[in-house]
A and B are shown apart, each in its own frame.
Chain A
Amino acid sequence: MTCEEIRRLCHEAHDGELPGGLPEPARAHIASCASCRELSDDLEALTKALRALSRVPLPPDALDAVWRETIHAERSGLSGLARPWRLAAAAVLATALSTGTLYYVLAPAPPPQPSAVELARASAQAEMVLGYTARALAATRNATADRVLASKVSPAVRGTSTTHPSRRP
C-alpha cells in the first residue's frame, strides 16, 4: 500500500467510516512510516482542538425572539385551539360559506303567494272536509258501542244505552 492510500484510510478510520478499523496491512505500514504515523496521531488532536473552538451559545435575546415568533404567537393568536381543531373549524366555515353561496346562486325562485280569494276558498273547503270527518268518526264510535253492548251488556242496560244523549252525533 502507498502512503497516499494509507492516509486516505487514516481519515476514514478516524471518521468511523471503516467498521473494522484500519486493516492489518495499513497498521503495519503506519508502524514503520513516521509520516503516516504522525498523521494518524494528529487527526485526533485536530478534532479535539476544533471542537474546543467552535461552540458558541445562542444569545438569550435571540432565543426569546424564537419563542415569541413560534409558541407564544400561536397561543396569543388563536385562543389556544389545537392546530387540528383550527383546521377543522376553518374547513367547516369554508364549507358553510360555499354551500350558502351556491344555494343563493342556484336555488329556484320561490312559488308565487296565493291570493286572498284563493285562501278563503281553501279555508272553506278544509272546514267542510273536517266537518264530514268529525261526523263520520262519531257515527263509527256509536256503531261500535252498540255492537259491544249487544254482545256484552244485559238487555236492561242496553235499552237505556241507545237513548243516551251524549252518544247522539
Chain B
Amino acid sequence: MTTMEFQAAVLEHKDRIHSYARGILRDPEEAKDVAQECLVRLWRHRERVEAGAGCRSWLLRSAHNLCIDRIRRKSSRPETSRDDDADEPTDGRPGPERLAASTEVGGRLERALLALDHRDRAIVLLREVEGLSYEEIAQTLGLKLGTLKATLHRSREKLRIALVRAEVTP
C-alpha cells in the first residue's frame, strides 16, 4: 500500500472503524483511541496490507482485536458502570448515536443491541452495518461458519422481538 493509498484508506474507513469500536465498547473516548490506534497500525503494516476490500477487513479485524483487548483489560470493572454513561460523548454534545437513540425506534433498538454480549454485538454490527459476508465475519472474529450463522440469526431475532414487544417495529 502506497502513502497515497494509505491516505485514501484512512479517509474512507475512519468513520467505519470508529463506529464499530463505539458499538462494541460503548465508550466514546475508548472508541476514539481504538480507531486512532487501528489507523496508525495500518500505516505500520502498510507493506503487507492490500488496498481495497482487503484493507477494510484488515481494519475491522484489527479494531475488533483492539476492542477485545480493552474489554479484557477492563473486565474487573462492572459492565453496568460503562452502560450508564456510554451514550454521552465527553464534549457534552449529543452525537449521532444519541440523536438516533432519541427517537423511539432508535432508543429501543440501541438498548436491545447493548443487551447482547460483545461477541454477538460484533457479529450483528459487522453483518448489518458493515455488510460483511458470513465468511468475512467468520475470518474477522475467528468463528466457525455454523456458529456464526446460528449466533447472527439468534441475535437478530432478539433485536426484532425486542422491537415487536415494544410495538415500534415498522
Contacts and interface: CB of A to CB of B under 8 A. Distances in A.
A54 B169 contact: no
Q: Which 4 A-B pairs have the closest CB atoms?
A: A70-B43, A58-B18, A58-B14, A50-B128
A60 to B, nearest CB: 10
Contacts of B109: 49-50, 53
A156 interface: no
A7 to B, nearest CB: 7
B100 A57 contact: no
A31 interface: no
Given A17-B134, A49-B105, A50-B125, 5 more contacts: A39-B160, A43-B156, A50-B128, A54-B22, A66-B10
Given A49-B105, A66-B40, A59 B32 contact: yes
B106 A42 contact: no
A56 B16 CA distance: 8
B163 interface: yes
Interface of A: 7-8, 11-12, 15-17, 39, 42-43, 45-47, 49-59, 62-63, 65-66, 69-71
Contacts, number: 108
A52 B110 CA distance: 11
A54 B19 contact: yes
Interface in B42-57: 43
Contacts of B40: 66, 69-70
A46 B159 contact: yes
A39 B129 CA distance: 19
B15 A55 contact: yes
Given A56-B95, A65-B36, A46 B129 contact: no
A45 B170 contact: yes
B144 interface: no
The interface centre, meaning the residue of A39, A43, A66 with most chain B CB atoms within 10 A of its CB, is A66
A59 B149 CA distance: 34
Contacts of B39: 66, 70
A73 to B, nearest CB: 9
A56 B32 CA distance: 10
